[in-house]
């Protein structure tokens, strides 16, 4: 992710990203106004600023069209919107890209979550919690907490609403690692209408009115392809159109980390950049290279034993007598022997305890999960822990310019650098468009970045669909994961994303996964 600071005399650029999202009112997205550093695919994007990771609530600047709408009287709404839910209605449905879930039944209340296109959440009651207000005709309480404004335009109780039915075809595929199809812009202009395509009059606010011109190397997310006027058009995530000829699709990566269950345990070696040879120990206590290799991004378990021959160190693997040259491997193991609460880390569990048995035991004891994530920014790996037990390990891509401890003022760390330290997850988005302002040029756009988790200033842990260079520094400061790994981590971390929600913001009552980043 990236941030850019400009010093004209030196010609230095430092990207600072801004999520492209609707105005959330008083409780707007904290990373939005602070900007969100975007991990860039190919080489000129960095990272940004703000506080030390506390879940601050900062208003988001609205685009001009939205700002004007905010100062205008509320539009007329059908009286039915303020009535009790129609018979059998059990859910509220989103017809907008962001339908905010508020902490109280009023538009000025801080947001605690959001729904997206086609999303829905169960009602707590068929009766409105508040109706007849100037800001909203009716607020309904939803599960497990919060309130949604049901105005008939952006949110409805009618599961058969014709517009909702149309929008469902463009909803993100939230069960997939990649909720949209993605590609790199070759330089294009998004269009709101295309001759020959019969598009409906979408609900207000469905289009992102900013960044209509998408500069080269930005990205595009889309749901469908459609033919018109002798060419193919992409129906983008915000229901505008992009010419397919101006988009180069990204090749999805299949890389994934490993769950640490049963006999699968740390330490583990991953292999980055290229295939690496396997070695055998000879009778004269030397190492001989075999014809076999571990392919790029393969992994193998290690016994923990090592042997030095000359200036080279070899590590014993759990694979049929093979050894690996230490410098060929990314070795994933805890940097310290204790967790943040002072308890010893257990690499092999309790006598081979399965994950299911562990979860059952923890359910019976009612204890906290104590989730935390250890990230080695320079070595390029991540371990997820539940209290004293590692449960998952994988490769990541951190800042391409390394990692530094933040200073007390912006920009906190140098460009394209990952901040070292301890943080907590503040809020999570199933997808979030990240914007990287560029001096004197159009902004860089990373469209609908999946599984985004904010932890500090402009920095997030998120999926990267634009590269496959796991284990190497690639980002503008954020922590990149493969889409498969990012989805797993997103649903494992705390706070949990409630059923049907597209985004969640931590509250004082919520547990929050700790993020520890070292070199």
| Radius of gyration, CA atoms only, the chain | 25
**Contact indicator for 139, 105 with CB cutoff of 8 Å:** yes
Rounded CA separation 222/234 (Å): 6
Which residues, at least 6 apart from 282, have a Cβ–Cβ distance to it below 8 Å?
A: 288
CA distances from 518 to 71, 88, 257, 382, 461 (A): 46, 53, 20, 10, 15
Which residues, at least 6 apart from 49, have a Cβ–Cβ distance to it below 8 Å?
A: 3, 16, 34, 35, 410, 411, 412, 457, 458
Strand partners, 288: 280
**Contact indicator for 395, 380 with CB cutoff of 8 Å:** yes
Cis ω for the linkage preceding 243 (within 30 of 0): no
Task: State which H helix or E strand residue 164 sits in.
Answer: helix 162-168
Rounded CA separation 277/328 (Å): 8
List the catalytic residues.
Answer: 462, 478
- Decide: helix, strand or coil at residue 354: coil
């Amino acid at each position: 992710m990236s941030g850019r600071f400009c010093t004209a005399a030196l010609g230095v650029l430092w990207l600072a990203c801004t999520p492209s999202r609707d105005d959330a009112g008083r409780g707007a997205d904290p990373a939005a106004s602070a900007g969100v550093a975007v991990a860039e695919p190919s080489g000129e994007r960095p990272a940004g600023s703000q506080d030390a990771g506390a879940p601050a609530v900062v208003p988001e600047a609205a685009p001009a069209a939205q700002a004007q709408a905010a100062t205008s009287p509320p539009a007329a709404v059908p009286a039915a919107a303020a009535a009790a839910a129609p018979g059998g209605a059990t859910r509220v449905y989103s017809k907008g890209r962001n339908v905010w879930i508020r902490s109280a039944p009023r538009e000025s209340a801080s947001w605690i979550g959001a729904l997206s296109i086609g999303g829905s959440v169960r009602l707590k009651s068929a009766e409105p919690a508040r109706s007849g207000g100037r800001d909203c005709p009716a607020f309904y309480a939803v599960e497990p907490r919060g309130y949604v404004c049901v105005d008939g335009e952006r949110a409805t109780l009618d599961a058969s609403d014709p517009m909702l039915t149309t929008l469902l075809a463009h909803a993100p595929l939230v069960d997939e690692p990649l909720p949209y199809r993605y590609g790199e812009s070759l330089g294009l202009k998004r269009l709101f209408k295309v001759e020959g395509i019969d598009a409906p009059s979408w609900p207000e606010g469905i289009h992102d009115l900013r960044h209509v011109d998408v500069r080269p190397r930005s990205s595009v997310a889309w749901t469908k392809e459609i033919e018109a006027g002798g060419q193919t058009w992409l129906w983008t995530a915000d229901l505008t159109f992009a010419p397919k000829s101006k988009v180069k699709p990204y090749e999805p990566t299949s890389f994934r980390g490993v769950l640490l269950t049963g006999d699968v345990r740390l330490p583990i070696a991953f292999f980055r950049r290229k295939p690496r040879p396997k070695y055998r120990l000879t009778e004269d206590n030397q190492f001989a290279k075999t014809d076999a290799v571990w392919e790029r991004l393969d992994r193998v378990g290690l016994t923990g034993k090592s042997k030095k021959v000359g200036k080279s160190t070899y590590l014993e693997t759990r694979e049929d007598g093979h050894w690996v040259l230490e410098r060929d491997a990314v070795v994933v193991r805890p940097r310290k022997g204790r967790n943040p609460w002072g308890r010893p880390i257990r690499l092999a569990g309790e006598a081979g305890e399965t994950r299911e048995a562990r979860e059952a035991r923890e359910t019976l004891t009612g204890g906290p999960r104590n989730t935390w994530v250890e990230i080695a920014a320079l070595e390029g790996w991540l371990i997820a822990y539940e209290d004293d037990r590692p449960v998952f390990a994988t490769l990541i891509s951190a800042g391409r310019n390394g990692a530094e401890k933040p200073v007390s003022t912006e920009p906190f760390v140098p460009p394209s650098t990952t901040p070292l330290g301890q943080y907590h997850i503040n809020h999570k988005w199933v997808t979030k468009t990240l914007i990287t302002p560029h001096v004197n040029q159009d902004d860089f756009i990373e469209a609908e970045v999946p599984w985004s988790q904010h932890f500090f200033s402009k920095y997030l842990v998120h999926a990267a669909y634009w590269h496959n260079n796991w284990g190497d520094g690639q980002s503008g400061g954020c922590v990149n994961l493969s889409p498969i790994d990012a989805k797993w981590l997103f649903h494992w971390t705390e706070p949990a994303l409630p059923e049907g929600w597209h985004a969640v913001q931590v509250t004082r009552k919520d547990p929050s996964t700790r993020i520890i980043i070292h070199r």
